[in-house]
């Protein structure tokens, strides 16, 4: 399958996105902001469809809206945690706006389907370069704020007492999340981005309590699931997004086996 240019591009794009999604997703789960990250993808859908109406490339509309949404969520700081109703309403409103923009520009239906469900096999070499640059910026930014981010996540009261601005950290982190989400959409789509951003990270958190090991393991899980998903899509002709989502769920489920085996033995 690697004889085909589009398959090689798909693996390369999938690798970049998976590494970014795994690393950023680990901190997203650690900060209990998984649902907020999912909402950002829906905000991006409104941006992508709105960009088409303005004659702008959908990807840049996606980036612009997710970053704006990330800044807005970040300004809420710790108040964002537990506000599932507010985030859910914003999620629904964003998806509704996307549907409206799509209705006003019906010829965009095919590309909208790719945004909703992902199409890693359709990534062009030009898009790959954009993803590489954005991925490098995202990881560099995450590394730059890693220390205060960890401090603010594990002990926010002490971090604030030591002079760490929790709101600034929240804004910067959610901007990073927004860019990571926009990249992940290229692989698994808006509706399934939760699987790649949260699944590997959640599995890694169940496997280890060490921070560096957890981040690395999350990225490894994400890359492995993406590679296997693309390969299975080639063999079966089923969508790669389905396989990546399924594998993410399976890997997370397998992390429960060590705790379930003693119970099964007793039974």
Token pair 């490339």: residue: 57
Most confident of 28-32, 70-74, 80-84: 28-32
Q: Looking at residues 239-249, what average pLDDT do you find?
A: 90
Q: pLDDT confidence of 6, banded at 50, 70, 90? A: confident
**Predicted confidence (pLDDT) at residue 191 exceeds the cutoff of 70:** no
What pLDDT does residue 139 have? 93
What pLDDT does residue 26 have? 93
Q: pLDDT confidence of 27, banded at 50, 70, 90? A: very high
Q: Looking at residues 97-105, what average pLDDT do you find?
A: 72
What pLDDT does residue 229 have? 92
Residue 110 lies in a domain: yes
Give me the CATH number covering residue 20.
Answer: 1.10.3470.10
Residue 211 lies in a domain: no
Residue 262 lies in a domain: no
Residue 22 lies in a domain: yes
Q: How far is CA 3 from CA 35, 93, 103, 227, in A?
A: 39, 43, 39, 16
Buried b (16+ CB within 10 A) or exposed e, 172-200: bbbbbbbbbbbbbbbbbbbbbbbbbbbbb
Q: Looking at residues 145-149, what average pLDDT do you find?
A: 90
What pLDDT does residue 194 have? 77
Residue 113 domain boundaries: 5-191
Residue 66 lies in a domain: yes
What are the tens digits of pLDDT across the range 197-217? 889 999 999 998 898 999 999
Residue 152 lies in a domain: yes
Residue 43 lies in a domain: yes
Mean pLDDT of the chain: 81
| Count of the separate structural domains present in the chain | 1
> Which pairs count as long-range contacts for 230-235, CB under 8 Å and 24+ apart, including other chains?
230/7, 230/10, 230/11, 230/14, 230/120, 230/121, 231/1, 233/121, 234/1, 234/7
What pLDDT does residue 215 have? 93
Residue 58 lies in a domain: yes
Q: Looking at residues 111-140, what average pLDDT do you find?
A: 79
């Amino acid at each position: 399958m690697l004889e085909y240019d589009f398959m090689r591009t798909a693996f390369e794009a999938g690798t970049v996105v998976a590494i970014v999604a795994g690393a950023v997703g680990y901190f997203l789960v650690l900060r209990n902001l998984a649902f907020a990250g999912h909402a950002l993808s829906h905000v991006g859908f409104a941006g992508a469809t709105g960009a088409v109406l303005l004659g702008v490339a959908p990807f840049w509309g996606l980036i612009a809206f997710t970053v704006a949404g990330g800044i807005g969520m970040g300004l809420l700081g710790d108040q964002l945690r537990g506000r599932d109703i507010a985030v859910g309403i914003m999620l629904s409103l964003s998806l509704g706006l996307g549907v409206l923009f799509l209705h006003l520009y019906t010829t965009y239906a095919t590309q909208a389907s790719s945004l909703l469900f992902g199409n890693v096999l359709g990534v062009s070499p030009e898009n790959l370069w954009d993803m590489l640059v954005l991925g490098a910026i995202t990881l560099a930014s995450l590394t730059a704020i890693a220390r205060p981010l960890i401090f603010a996540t594990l002990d926010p009261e002490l971090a604030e007492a030591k002079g760490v601005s929790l709101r600034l950290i929240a804004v910067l982190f959610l901007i990073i999340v927004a860019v990571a989400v926009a990249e992940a959409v290229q692989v698994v789509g808006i509706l399934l981005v939760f699987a790649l951003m949260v699944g590997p990270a959640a599995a890694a958190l169940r496997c280890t309590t060490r921070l560096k090991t957890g981040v690395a393991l999350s990225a490894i899980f994400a890359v492995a699931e993406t590679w296997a998903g693309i390969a299975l899509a080639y063999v079966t002709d089923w969508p790669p997004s389905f396989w990546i989502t399924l594998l993410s769920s399976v890997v997370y489920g397998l992390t429960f086996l060590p705790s379930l085996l003693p119970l099964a033995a007793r039974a």
